[in-house]
A and B are shown apart, each in its own frame.
Chain A
Amino acid sequence: MSGGSAGRDAPGTAAATAGGRRLDAALRLLDRQLVDRDGRLCGKVDDLELERRDDGSLVVTAILTGPGALGPRLPGVLGRVTVAVWRRLHGDAEPGASRIPFERVAEIDSAVHLTMSRVEAPTHGLERWARENVVEKLPGAGDAPD
């Protein structure tokens, strides 16, 4: 496994190359809003997957998002419970944190813009569950606001 994780306190991850751009990954990427290609919000950059190149530089290879990535960054019991609940609800036996390959990032400004639709995003599960089991049971859920 050459991949690592970029929790804010991990040493040596302050600067990383992202999509050919050098930037402070902890400051400019972590915890930023993810926006899909239609301008819809679809989660946060909860963690980053890093790879060390031969020259020793760190490269961001993927964005990790969802409870599986956020849980380990939360303190103590809360973090463990988050991960445990997420694993239990997840379909796979040994789920890894949901990852979005960095090639799917279109642009980074005050948010991280993706080239995918949020329906394809790996964190759509909870939102889909709430839509199918709560919101769509109520009258008028599909009506346009305008």
Chain B
Amino acid sequence: MKRVLSVALGVLTAIGGFVDVGDLVTNALVGARFGVSLLWVVVVGVLGIVVFAEMSGRVAAMTGRATFDLVRERLGPRAGLLNLAGSMAVTGLTFVAEIGGVALALELVSSVNYLLLVPFTGLAVWLVLWRVRFSILENVFGLLGLALLVFAVAVWRLGPDWSSLVDQATHPSVPGSEGVPTYWYYAVALFGAAMTPYEVFFFSSGGVEEHWTRKDLGTSRLNVLVGFPLGGVLSFAIAISTALVLLPAGIEVDTLGQVGLPVSEAVGRVGIAIALLGFFAATFGAACETGLSVGYSVSQYFGWQWGKYVRPREAALFHTVLLLSTIAGVAVLLTTVDPIKVTEYSVVFSAVALPLTYFPILVVANDPDYMGEKVNGRLANGLGQVYLVLVTLAAVAAIPLMLLTKAGQ
């Protein structure tokens, strides 16, 4: 019974923890502009993150080594350092976006300007990274993130014409008001939001934090195979809800408040309260995850002791990196840069950085010297290779599309 509970908890936190500020904003924005015509990208992205998270979780359970440990080892110090710089630039940008997202969510609750809330948000995030046990961090924010299910309730209460929605989603076409490059720009952004590299850094390092062994392979797989797709349903619900409410009204999403509009329309005040709780949990949880991912990756490249399973004084350089990156994140936000814009750029640059993360994982998951009999099977390799092509295409296309469409305008 205890085992069933712990597995259920893992799956629930995977669902609730799936969505971050990038998913919130990008899905809402795309729904409001393109209806359901880009939902197929969410499906492709979620399958992709499932494939690679499963691989990185398996590698962590079999070898006790997390992603960046192996990136350094496979690519050597030079290419590894370039990879580290690229991946950390993107993860750092995502970290900034998440802290900003928390402050914006708190602004919606308190009506205090978010800039005043940013330093406190940064302090709160750092305190959690410094003091709170890993399992608590993961479970609390994951479970609270389930509040975003209110978007599914909103879609249900809006009572859409399902057959026409399914038809539009399965026969996607570029809406008349939008250009073809813009359509593809947002396709890349959605893909980047679903497959953000930090998710893999965090997932594999988390496996090491929780001392996974081969006995935990089943649990890890279940979290990924059930939790992530159900988390993707939250992304779906957000996009469909804005497609139903904001698209007909001609409202575009450029604030976090607008993401919640369909919920207040369909579910009312209680609904918006629940949605705000969901925003807060999703962004705060992801702020912790991205912050940790920066510390994990830098420490793993240099071989320093990392992790929350030891006292802070035993992982001094790791905690120094966490502290400095939180200060840097707060400093960037205090320049009054728009957090929603940061979010939009962070998902596009995530798409650019995808091959850096996913190529080494695929290589190591195929190495019998590490993996024993748990090397990739045909399915994992087939999917892994298809996705390597897809992430490379997205990475190559991202910047030209961004310039061509002036970042989707």
**Interface, chain A (partner B; CB < 8 A):** 8, 28, 30-34, 40-44, 46, 65, 70, 73-75, 78, 109-111, 118, 126-128, 130-131, 134-136, 138, 140-146
Contacts and interface: CB of A to CB of B under 8 A. Distances in A.
4 nearest A-B residue pairs (beta carbon): A44-B303, A131-B316, A110-B63, A130-B316
22 contacts: A31-B72, A33-B65, A40-B305, A41-B304, A43-B304, A44-B303, A73-B76, A73-B78, A78-B81, A109-B63, A110-B65, A130-B316, A130-B317, A135-B320, A140-B130, A141-B311, A141-B312, A141-B313, A141-B319, A142-B311, A145-B310, A145-B311
B64 interface: yes
Contacts of B69: 33
Contacts of A110: 63-65, 370
B130 A127 contact: no
B338 interface: no
Interface in B262-315: 299, 302-306, 308-314
Interface string B65-100: 100010011001110110000000000000000000
Contact of A31 (B63, B76, B131, B133): B76
Contact of A142 (B73, B313, B320): B313
B78 A118 contact: no
A116 to B, nearest CB: 15
B154 interface: no
B308 A127 contact: no
Given A31-B72, A146-B133, A40 B310 contact: yes
A78 B299 CA distance: 19
B134 interface: yes
B320 A130 contact: yes
Contacts of A140: 130-131, 312
A143 B323 contact: no
Contacts of B78: 73-75
Given A110-B63, A134-B320, A138-B130, A8 B305 contact: no
B16 to A, nearest CB: 23
B361 to A, nearest CB: 15
Interface size class of B (residues with CB under 8 A): 35 or more
Given A70-B77, A146-B133, A126 B65 contact: no
A8 B317 contact: no
Given A110-B64, A134-B320, A143-B311, 12 more contacts: A30-B76, A32-B73, A41-B299, A73-B78, A75-B78, A110-B65, A118-B305, A127-B305, A130-B317, A141-B312, A145-B308, A145-B310
B305 A41 contact: yes
Interface of B: 63-65, 69, 72-73, 76-78, 80-81, 130-131, 133-134, 299, 302-306, 308-314, 316-317, 319-320, 323, 369-370
A28 B369 CA distance: 9
A135 B370 CA distance: 35
A126 B65 CA distance: 23
Contacts of B299: 41
Most buried by A among B69, B72, B312: B312
A134 B321 CA distance: 11
A143 B127 CA distance: 13
A145 B320 CA distance: 17
A73 B76 CA distance: 9
A31 B319 contact: no
Contacts of B312: 135, 138, 140-143
B72 A44 contact: yes
Contacts of A44: 72, 302-303
Contacts of B370: 110
B44 to A, nearest CB: 32
Contact of A134 (B72, B309, B319): B319
B291 to A, nearest CB: 16
B37 to A, nearest CB: 45
Nearest to A9: B76
Nearest to B65: A110
Given A31-B77, A111-B64, A145-B308, A126 B317 contact: yes
Given A31-B73, A73-B78, A74-B81, A42 B316 contact: no
A43 B302 contact: yes
A67 B64 CA distance: 25
Nearest to A73: B77
B77 A46 contact: yes
Contacts of B73: 30-33
Contacts of B133: 145-146
Nearest to B313: A141
Contact of A131 (B302, B306, B313): B313
Nearest to A28: B369
A118 B308 CA distance: 18
